Amino acid sequence: MPSAQEIKERIEAAIPGSRAEVEDYTGGGDHFRATVTAPAFAGLPRLAQHRLVYGVFGTEIGGAIHALSLKTEAAPQAPAQGSVRDGGPTTMAGAGTGAMPAEDQAQTPTS
């Protein structure tokens, strides 16, 4: 029978970017409760989210894993590397107009 830790690791390995919290809620090693957050769930109905997780285990559900209670939610996707976020350190005031970065404007003396 898989442990709660093994179930967590399998979910996180199979669903890119996912985070799972798994507990054996009866202590018997076959009834588990999991909360799974993943960007892959974005835009999917709850049933489809649950099917993705159950698909990780195939026929083990109802066998070695007698029960797996799920709570799923979509995680926000991380911005692409090198992207500029509003309010971030690389945000430019008047970008494209030859203006200096906002953080430099605050240090420019006014006379």
Dihedrals phi, psi of 75, to nearest 5 degrees: -95, 145
Average pLDDT on 17-24 reads 97
pLDDT at residue 104, as a whole number: 46
Average pLDDT on 29-52 reads 97
Residues 58-111: tens digit of each pLDDT: 999 999 999 999 999 998 765 555 544 444 333 333 434 444 444 444 444 554
Nearest C-alpha neighbor of 21 from the set 40, 10, 11, 34: 34
pLDDT mean across residues, the chain: 80
pLDDT at residue 78, as a whole number: 59
How far apart CA 4 and CA 77 sit, in angstroms, is: 26
Domain limits, the chain: 4-74
Which of these CATH numbers, 3.40.50.300, 3.40.50.261, 3.30.300.90, 3.50.50.60, describes 4-74?
3.30.300.90
Residue 83: both structure tokens together: 């992207």
